[in-house]
């Protein structure tokens, strides 16, 4: 493969596993997760249930970003050709990019302003934007590592015939991160990243993954052999420290740096490359990124010194960039999760956490069922006594998605629909419950029952929750 | 003004207040909120502090969406010309839109696939995508109102000479919402929306706003006079119910529906149009949106009946769409907030919540200062005893942004820098604090001191917080 295209594969295109994940579309239709449109092929439209899961993934990652020292940034969707020329995309990646023009540009509008002729590219990745952010301020060695995270929508012009569900798309999002660090910090950063990956895959109870290190190619590489040795030693050190098995692909690294691939084997034995950790000596050079450090000669080689003579001198050094994505494409990760859970979502991420069913259609039961729904949702709707305006909900208030089925159908039918829809909890309310202020709870659809019951009980406040004897 | 362009002004372009908000750029530079780049004029790049405020605004809105019954969706960035022809944008708005093409499309690549020639438009608003979502499933009257919220980035091709900071941009985000409702639900939905607006503006302690109703134009309108009367009565009813003063602009509505504008007067007396509530009879027709209802003739006129004879008949009815944005452009709202707070952010949204300063540079003080920083941040970093992997942070864990200044400068210098940077809380740690496990707290920069102190004390756990006697 063309080594020059490899930087763009930092986050791999989701081409490897179309067959094994075909089934995610059926499950997604059942659960009303997303739809597609001929008006925008390859750009899934997330329905509320799908957007809920997507946003829960983001919230989860944001909470982890805090403990791993990532700072979220928000960067443009389109950049002028001038940026893609610096990054090298215009020359090497143009057929995979969408081109953008102001409508006044191509002679369609008379008297279009000068400068409106600019060609733009719709971004296929976030790295160039993060380089602009790094470069927007003077940087000193004390500030490093700087770790940027970004969830921007990205576009790649995949051939229309291959588009499918969430796995083969033109518009997608990554849990994209770029670490700008000193050469001496590579080991620690890779180590932290591997810890991050392990934590996430363990949280989702995904099968064990394989680590593969790709090293310096025999010919055609940039940087000195010493720089490569420092980097590869750091990567090996981090792999050893992780305590996991890892393999090596000698000479298979990109010309601009070594990398570690994380390969997941699903229950069908199919392999999915999800996370990637890619070192990059090149992009900092292309963008002229620098930080100020004492003893710059040693700094470049990843060596710290206490020698006052050497420390007296200071100068500019290029940071190393580590591209990393833990989930990879969020869309693709969702497809993996859909299949992995077989539509039965862990409670915290589920778009169908609970449903309240009425035993009969009497007014008192229906009224009480509405109260139960509102209690269990965790929302506290109140109004200011003076001006009558609603009070704002707190940002950190824990809330639940609770639906209500108070239709006149038989309880049996309502239960079987609730089970087909894979609600984590089925809450049943009859005449006796109205008097005793209780509900019956069916947790058959819930993996971790004790935790779920305790969460719900907390939300329920005055309402007593009884397990269903069934 | 061309009535046909009005639907696109549902969310107004941020052109009204360039002069009054010029100063937000200076404050934003001080606080490191965003930067701009010649590679993408009019697309601000949010630095971590700016992204933090932006994301807090989103979290706040998401929490409120739950209580107001909005469901978030995620929709494409680009749509083919075919969609913009249905919506009317291609004919009437094309010069304000960016045009998108696959790079293989314009003959640059030989053998480009058929169908790759498609022209796309970069979306300037979310309504057409929400219509596709509504249409993706069969809808019945019981399901309405359906309320979609969307925070997608939007693009409008503003002339380059006028671009400025966060107020005059090409790329922006809205807290965009579309309510698909029955004619009989208009009053209730408008009323809820006005309550939402009041709640939000009160939360941010913004000055009182003015409400202006624009009614049916004399000529050139779609729909029947009866439909307009039903809608205008509903809007007037909601305005009355709000208990606020409102004005009327007779005949100033768009040809496709009446609207309510929310106009904010800032401390300089300048008016900002922020929120808008726009009724729309047209878009549902263009997209052929329908829902199934009994007694369709009465349903269309917003009348409920119990007559079994009339209820026996059922049929398809067009929903009404209400376009609404509460903050309007998030970028522009941020600019208003920056000026309104004069850089002194409420604690919950502040990117500089607290800083820990060391009195001296001794190892014990610096070590303790680090402990204090980590404690106050609210992060609980722990590892699994068996596999050594970090535990995930909980999504609902309340955390704080706490910086550390343990440099060797004098305390006076560090304090004055902290005040210049407008930290809400300045936490001071000296030798005595190490032994007593305490800190000194300076809340001069904090508007609501008791609440802030109680929040921080909760996070601090073992550490005792003493007010600074200064
Ligand atoms: Zn990258
Ligand atoms: Zn709209």
Q: Does A111 touch chain B (CB under 8 A)?
A: no
Residues A77 and B104 sit within 8 Å (Cβ to Cβ): no
A347 close to B (CB below 8 A): no
State the Cα–Cα distance between residues A375 and B299, nearest whole angstrom.
33
For residue A367, the CA-to-ligand 1 centroid distance in Å is 54
Strands A320-329 and A271-280: antiparallel
Q: How far away is chain A from the Cα of B400, in angstroms, using its nearest Cα? A: 10
| Partners of B161 in beta bridges | none
How far apart CA A212 and CA A201 sit, in angstroms, is 17
Which of B39, B75, B122 shows the shortest C-beta gap to A100? Answer: B122
- 């039961």: which residue's tokens? A365
Which residues on B lie below 8 Å from A83 (Cβ)? 37, 39-40
How far, in Å, are B356, B427, B449 from residue B467 at the CA level?
A: 14, 10, 10
B102: helix, strand or coil: strand
Do the chains contact at B389 and A73, CB–CB below 8 Å?
Answer: no
* DSSP track, B243-289: TS-EEEETT-SBTTB-EEEEEEE-TTS-EEEEEEEEEESSHHHHTT-
Those residues with Cβ within 8 angstroms of residue A282's Cβ, 6 or more apart along the chain or in another chain: A7, A222, A255, A256, A257
> Which ligand lies nearest the alpha carbon of A150?
1
Q: Which ligand is nearest to the CA of B129?
A: 2
Q: Which two tokens stand for residue A366?
A: 């229906």
Q: Tell me the residues of chain A between 327 and 346 that have a Cβ less than 8 Å away from chain B.
A: none
Is-contact A86 A128, C-beta < 8 A? yes
Q: How many CB atoms lie within 10 A of CB B451?
A: 12
Is A89 designated active site? no
Find, among A277, A95, A42, the residue nearest to A176 by Cα: A277
- Could you tell me where the beta strands, DSSP code E, fall in B331-442? 354-358, 402-405, 425-429, 438-442
- Global pTM value: 0.92
Contacts of residues B360-366 at CB distance under 8 Å and 24 or more positions apart, as own/partner, are B360/B430, B360/B431, B361/B406, B361/B407, B361/B408, B362/B431, B364/B431, B364/B434, B365/B406, B365/B429, B365/B430, B365/B431, B365/B433, B365/B434, B366/B406
Taking 50 as the pLDDT cut, the residues of chain A under it are: 1-19, 105-116, 469-470
- ipTM given for this complex: 0.91
- Number of other CB atoms surrounding residue B84 within 10 Å: 23
- Please indicate if any CB of chain B lies within 8 Å of the CB of A195: yes
Residue recorded with tokens 């530079």: B29
B103 alpha carbon to ligand 2 midpoint, in Å?
30
User: Cα A61–A65–A70 angle (5° rounding)?
Assistant: 135
Please list the ranges in chain B whose pLDDT falls under 70: 1-22, 103-117, 267, 462, 467-470
CB contact (8 A) between residue A45 and residue B75:
yes
**Cα B166 → chain centroid:** 14
What is the chain A residue with the closest CA to B191? A389
What is the crossing angle of helices B48-67 and B186-203, to 10°? 140
What does the alpha-carbon distance between residue B124 and residue B139 come to, in Å, rounded to a whole number? 27
- For residues A464 and A437, is the Cβ–Cβ distance under 8 A? yes
**Range 138-177 of B in CB contact (< 8 A) with A:** 148, 152-153, 155, 157, 159-161, 171
The 10s digit of each residue's pLDDT in B278-297 is 999 889 999 999 999 999 99
User: Interhelix angle for A449-460 vs A363-377, to 10°?
Assistant: 110
- A178 catalytic residue (yes or no): yes
Query: Under an 8 A CB cutoff, do B391 and A199 touch?
Result: yes
Whether B45 sits inside 8 A of A77 (CB atoms) is no
Chain A residue nearest residue B142, CA to CA: A407
Local structure of residue A77 (DSSP, 8 states): S
- Rounded Cα gap, residues B197 and B200, in angstroms: 5
Of B174, B185, B373, B446, the active-site residue reads B174
Residue B171 near residue B42 (C-beta atoms within 8 A): yes
From the candidates A29, A63, A70, A77, which should be mutated to test the interface with B, based on the most B CB atoms within 10 A?
A: A77
Burial of A309 (0-12, 13-18, 19+ CB in 10 A): exposed
Residue B372 has a pLDDT of 92
Q: In this complex, is the C-beta atom of A381 within 8 Å of any C-beta atom belonging to chain B?
A: yes
Q: Which of B76, B100, B115 sits opposite A160 (nearest CB)?
A: B115
How deeply is B90 buried, as exposed, middle or buried, from its count of CB atoms within 10 A (0-12, 13-18, 19+)? middle
**Separation of alpha carbons A115 and A142, rounded Å:** 40
User: In this predicted structure, what is the pLDDT of residue B66?
Assistant: 93
Spacing, Cα B221 to ligand 2 middle (Å): 19
Residue A442 CB neighbour total at 10 angstroms: 19
Instruction: Mention every residue, 6+ apart, whose C-beta is less than 8 A from residue B328.
Output: B11, B12, B14, B174, B175, B273, B274, B275, B276
B246-249 and B209-214 strand pairing? parallel
Q: What percent of chain B has pLDDT over 70?
A: 90
- Helix count (H) and strand count (E) of chain B? 15, 21
- Calpha distance A33→A28 (Å, rounded): 5
Contact assignment for B200 to A392 by CB distance below 8 Å: yes
Interval between CA A268 and ligand 1 midpoint (Å): 30
Please tell me which residue in A65, A178, A352, A440 is annotated as part of the active site: A178
Rounded to a whole number of angstroms, the distance from the CA of B260 to the nearest CA of chain A is 19
Round to whole Å and give the CA distance between A214 and A235.
10
CB contact under 8 A, B199 and A115: no
Pair of tokens at residue B334: 């941020």
What count of Cα atoms within 13 Å lies in the side-chain half-sphere of residue A444?
15
């Amino acid at each position: 493969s063309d080594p020059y295209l490899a930087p763009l594969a930092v986050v791999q295109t989701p081409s490897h596993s179309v067959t094994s994940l075909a089934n995610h579309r059926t499950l997604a239709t059942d659960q009303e997760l997303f739809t597609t449109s001929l008006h925008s092929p390859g750009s899934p439209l997330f329905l509320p249930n799908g957007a809920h899961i997507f946003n829960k993934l983001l919230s989860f990652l944001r909470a982890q970003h805090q403990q791993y020292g990532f700072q979220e940034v928000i960067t443009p969707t389109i950049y002028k050709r001038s940026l893609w020329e610096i990054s090298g995309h215009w020359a090497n990646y143009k057929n995979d990019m969408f081109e953008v023009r102001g409508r006044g540009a191509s002679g369609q509008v008379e008297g279009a302003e000068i400068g409106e002729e600019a060609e733009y590219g719709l971004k296929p990745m976030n790295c160039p934007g993060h380089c602009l952010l790094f470069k927007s301020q003077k940087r000193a060695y004390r500030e490093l590592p700087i770790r940027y995270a970004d969830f921007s929508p990205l576009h790649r012009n995949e051939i229309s015939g291959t588009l499918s569900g969430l796995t083969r798309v033109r518009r997608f999002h990554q849990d994209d991160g770029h670490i700008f660090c000193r050469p001496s910090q590579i080991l620690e950063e890779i180590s932290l990243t591997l810890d991050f990956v392990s934590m996430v895959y363990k949280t989702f109870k995904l099968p064990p993954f394989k680590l593969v290190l790709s090293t310096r190619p025999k010919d055609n590489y940039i940087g000195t052999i010493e720089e490569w040795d420092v980097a590869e030693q750091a990567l090996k050190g981090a792999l050893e420290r992780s305590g996991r098995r890892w393999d090596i692909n000698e000479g298979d690294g990109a010309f601009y740096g070594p990398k570690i691939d994380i390969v997941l084997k699903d229950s069908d034995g199919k392999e999915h490359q999800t996370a990637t950790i890619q070192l990059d000596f090149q992009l900092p050079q292309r963008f002229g990124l620098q930080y100020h450090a004492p003893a710059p000669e040693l700094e470049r080689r990843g060596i710290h010194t206490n020698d006052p003579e050497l420390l007296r001198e200071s100068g500019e050094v290029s940071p190393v960039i580590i591209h990393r994505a833990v989930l990879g494409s969020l869309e693709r990760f969702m497809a993996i999760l859909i299949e992995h859970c077989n539509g039965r979502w862990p409670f915290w991420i589920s778009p169908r956490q609970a449903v309240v069913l009425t035993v009969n259609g009497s007014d008192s039961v229906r009224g009480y069922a509405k109260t139960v729904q509102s209690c269990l949702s965790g929302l506290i709707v109140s109004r200011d006594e003076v001006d009558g305006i609603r009070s704002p909900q707190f940002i950190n208030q824990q809330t639940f998605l609770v639906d209500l089925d108070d239709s006149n159908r038989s309880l049996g039918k309502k239960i079987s629909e609730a089970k087909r829809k894979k609600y984590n909890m089925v809450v049943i309310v009859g005449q006796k419950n109205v008097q005793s202020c209780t509900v019956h709870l069916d947790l058959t659809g819930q993996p971790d029952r004790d935790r779920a019951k305790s969460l719900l009980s907390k939300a329920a406040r005055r309402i007593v929750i009884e397990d269903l004897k069934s």
